Amino acid sequence: MNTELVIIGTIRSSIKERANAPKMENEPGAVRARIEVAPQYAEGLNAMEPGTQLEIYTWFHKSARDALMVHPRGNMNVPKRGVFTTRSPNRPNPIGLHRVTLVDMEGPLTLVVEPLEAIDGTPVIDIKPKPKQMG
């Protein structure tokens, strides 16, 4: 069994610092950004079309991995809670989930998406279409 994490691409964003990043994609400050996919994963983008709702999974490479208790939303006035009861980026496996719309494709390897709250240089570990609503 292979347990190695594979980076499939990189976020290119106007957000350069964690302190300037919104907490969620639906908050002010989320931007149109690009995802540069590594050439060896180009085939995985086959049939990707603008307008598609996507879930982008990232690796929060600048997050603390030893946090088990955090102040929700970084607010020091709120008592600490267990990290698994929050959406904090500081966690044992700092995986981010971003719900975006594919706006455009720039060539075969670059996705233009919005709204995205990830900082520039964030590694991408997976891309999935948003699940269809049941019912």
Per-residue pLDDT reduced to its tens digit, 83-124 = 999 888 888 999 999 999 999 999 999 999 999 999 999 999
pLDDT digits (tens, 9 = 90+) for 30-58: 899 999 999 999 999 999 999 999 999 99
Q: Domain containing 125 — which CATH number?
A: 2.40.30.70
Please give the Cα distance from 58 to 25 (Å, whole number): 13
Q: How many domains does the chain have?
A: 1
Q: Which domain holds residue 58?
A: 9-129
Please give the Cα distance from 31 to 25 (Å, whole number): 8
Q: Please indicate, yes or no, if residue 52 is contained in any of the structural domains.
A: yes
The pTM assigned to this predicted structure is 0.88
pLDDT of residue 135: 57
Task: Tell me the pLDDT band of 18, cut-offs 50, 70 and 90.
Answer: confident
How would you class 41 by CB atoms within 10 Å of its CB: exposed for 0-12, middle for 13-18, buried for 19 or more?
Answer: middle
Tell me the sheet residues that pair with 81. Answer: 70
Q: Please indicate, yes or no, if residue 2 is contained in any of the structural domains.
A: no
